[in-house]
Structure 1
C-alpha cells in the first residue's frame, strides 16, 4: 500500500519524533555511523529501522483492516526512496489482518522475530512517547541504543524531581523516623521510575491487596499518569501560542474562495477543539489526583486500589489525549515558527486536516 500524502511524509521526516511519530529515518541519518546505533538497533530489520512509525487515527474506510474495532492503529511507513521522500512510501498497519504473513512476505521477518515483539509493544501503548516506550521495552528486556529516545539528562532529572514531590505524602504516611524521609522518598521515586520491585512497592501492593501482576501493571500506568502530568505543564505553556500560530499563519500564492473558507472554518474548529482536548486531559488526570488524595489525605486505600485497577485503561485514554496535543504543539512549532519556510494554501489545508482528524472525537467520527 502506498502512503498518499507525500508532502506530509516530507514534513514528518523533517519534524522528527513526537508522541505520535517515531522517526527512525531521522535517527538513522543523525546516528547511523555511531557504534551504539549499530550494536543496539531498535529493529534488527534494516528497513524497519529506517522507517517512520505513526500513531494513526483510523478513517472510516480503514476499519475493515482489523478483526476487532479500534479507533487508532500503528502505521509503519517505509520510504520508497530515502533520499527523495516525494516518491512516497509503502505502509502497513501493525496487527492488521494477515499482519505476520505480510511482514514475512515483504520484509522476511519470521513469526518468532523480536521485531514483531517490539511492534506489538508499540501498538499496545497509547502513544510513542519516548519515556514510556523506553520503559515498556525495558520491561521486556529490550534495551535499544539511547539515540532512539529523545530524552535528555535534564528531562530525566526533572521527571525524577517531579515524582519525588508527588510521592512525598505517600512516603510520609509510612514513616516513623523523619530523618529517614529524604532517603525513602529517593528510593521510592527510583523504584517507581524503574518499575523495579522493592520494599516500599511490595508493602504498598500488600496494603492495597493487589496481586503482583495487578500491582505491576497498575504502577506502570501510574508512572504514565505521573509522566503525563509532568509533561502537561510544559504543553499548557505552549498551547495558546500554538493556537495563535494556527490562526495567524498566512499561506503564499493564489487561493480560491473554497480554500479560503475551509481554512477559516478549520482555524475556528481547531481553536475550540484544542481547548476541549486540554480540558479532557485535565479531567482524566483529576481521576488520579482524587484517588491519590483519598489515600494520602483521607486514609482511604480502596480508592487508590480502584484507580490502579482501572489505570491501564485510563492510561490508554490519557496517552491518546495528550499525544494529540503534543503532536500539534511539536508540529506547529516546526512548521509555523518564525524561521519556518513559507507555506502554500494546499499544504496548510493538509496540515489543518491532519490536526482536525487527530482531534475529532470517536462519536463525531461515527456520524460521518
Structure 2
C-alpha cells in the first residue's frame, strides 16, 4: 500500500509535486506518453530538480556596483544546485531514494558507478547525457522556456514535447525582450557612429544577436559597452533571463500578496490549539515569522534588481549615459541566478500552501498539518543542514 504524505519526507513531497521551474519528473512525463529526454534508460527513471540549499548573497544591489563585476563567471556564488533524485523504484517515486549533485566531486564517475555502466556504447550515451545535464545546470531554474532556449542554442535537438511552451508565451517573451532592447540598440548604433535610421530588416539582424551572439552584428554591442567578446554569450543569456524573470514576477505579484496576507492572518491558528502547550504554539508562530521574513527577503531582492535594471536602462536610453547600464550588464549573470532562486521560491511557496488550503478562502488547519506545510515551504528557501544530509531528507521519516 502506498504511504500518504504524512510519512514522506518534506523534501520528497516538494520534489514530487513542485512546479516545472523546480522539478523535471521524467518518469511522469513518460507515463503521459512523451518520449524520453535522455539517451540513458536509467537516467530517464530519475527526477531532475533544483535545490536551493544555501542562502542568496546578502549584497544590497545598489547602482554603484551591484555585485563584484570583476568576479569570473565560474567563481561567483550560485544559490541553486541541480540534483538528480534516484528513486528506489521508478514506478513508485514516493517510496524514497537518494540524490546526487551535478557539482559534487567525481560526479561523472559516481554516475557510472550508480547506473553500473559496463558497455562502451552505454557509457558514451551516459557521457552525452552528462554534457546535457551540465547545460541544464547553467540555468537557474527548470522553466521550459529557458531550458529549451539554452539546449537548442547548444545544439541539442529536443523532442517536440520536451520543455513545451505555447506559441503565445514564446511570442510574448521574445517581443518583451526585443522591445526592451530595441531602444538600446538604436543608442548603441549612434554611439558607434552609425545611422540610427536603419531599416526594419537591418534592425531584425541586430536583434538576432541576442539569440546568437556569434553573429558579426554583436560587434556593435561589444564596442558600445566595452565588454569582452568572450563574455558576450553569458551576458546576453543573463540579460534575456532577467527579462524573462521580470515577466514571471509581474505574473505572480497578485499570488504573492495573497501569501503574505495568509501568513499574517488568523487562519494559521491551529484548529486543535488547545491540545498543545504554549511553547508549541510559540515555536509554530516563530516558524511562520521566519518563513514570512524569508519570503519578504526574496521579493525584495527581485524588486531591487528590477529597479536597478530599470534605472540603468532609463539612464542609457533617455540620458545617453551608458555607465550604469554597463555595470548592470557586468553583474547580469549573478543577478540572473539570484532572480532564479527567488522566483522559484516565491512561485512554489504559493503552490505548496495552495495544496493545503484555498489561498482565496483559507481554512483553519490542524497543528501537525500547519507544521508539515511550513516545513515544506521552508525547504524551498534552503535549509541549514545542507547537502550532506540530502539522502536522509529523501528517505522515509
Q: TM-score per shorter chain, which class?
A: 0.7 to 0.9
State the match for 1:30 in structure 2: 32
Find the residue that maps to 2:32 and give its secondary structure: helix
Q: Do the aligned partners of residues 177 and 57 (structure 1) sit closer, same or farther apart at CA in structure 2, a change above 3 Å counting?
A: closer
Match for residue 126 of structure 1? 140
What stretches of structure 1 of length at least 5 have no aligned partner?
61-67, 363-368
Match of residue 64 from structure 1: none
SS in structure 1 at match of 2:24: strand
Cα separation, 2, equivalents of 1:134 and 1:262: 43
Q: Secondary structure at the match of 2:50?
A: strand
Change (3 A) 1:285 1:262: same
Match of 1:102 in 2: 110
Taking structure 2 as the reference length, the TM-score comes to 0.73
> Which residue of structure 1 lines up, in the alignment, with residue 101 of structure 2?
93
Residue 329 of structure 1 corresponds to which residue in structure 2?
Answer: 350
Deviation at 1:218, TM superposition (A): 1.0
Which residue of structure 1 aligns with residue 227 of structure 2? 210
Equivalent-residue separation in structure 1 for 2:179 and 2:303 (angstroms): 19
Cα deviation, residue 50, structure 1: 3.2
Alignment counterpart, residue 231 of structure 1, candidates 225, 238, 248: 248
Answer yes or no: is 1:275 the counterpart of 2:296. Answer: yes
- Aligned residue for 2:23? 21
Looking at CA atoms only, which structure, 1 or 2, has the larger radius of gyration? 2
SS in 2 for 1:297: helix
Q: Specify whether residues 187 and 336 from structure 1 end up closer, same or farther in structure 2 by C-alpha distance, changes over 3 A only.
A: farther
Give per-residue Cα distances to partners, 1:28-68, cap 9 Å, x unaligned: 22233xxxx2xxx42212232232222223379xxxxxxx9
> Larger relative contact order (C-alpha < 8 A, sep ≥ 6)?
2
Aligned equivalents of 1:330 and 1:189: distance in 2? 36
Could you tell me whether the CA contact under 8 Å between 1:56 and 1:72 is conserved in 2? yes
What is residue 307 of structure 1 aligned with on the other side? 328
Q: What pairs with 1:229-268 in structure 2 (closer than 5 Å)?
A: 229-245=246-262, 248=267, 256-257=276-277, 260-268=281-289
The within-5 A match list for 1:286-297 is 286-297=307-318
Contact 2:81–2:137 under 8 Å retained in 1: yes
Distance in 1 between residues matched to 2:226 and 2:214, nearest whole Å: 16
Where 2:319 maps in the other structure, the secondary structure is coil
Q: Does 1:352 align with 2:365?
A: no
SS at match of 1:90: strand
Structure 2: runs of 5 or more not aligned: 1-6, 56-75, 118-122, 385-397
* Partner Cα separation in structure 2 for residue 347 and residue 319 of structure 1: 29
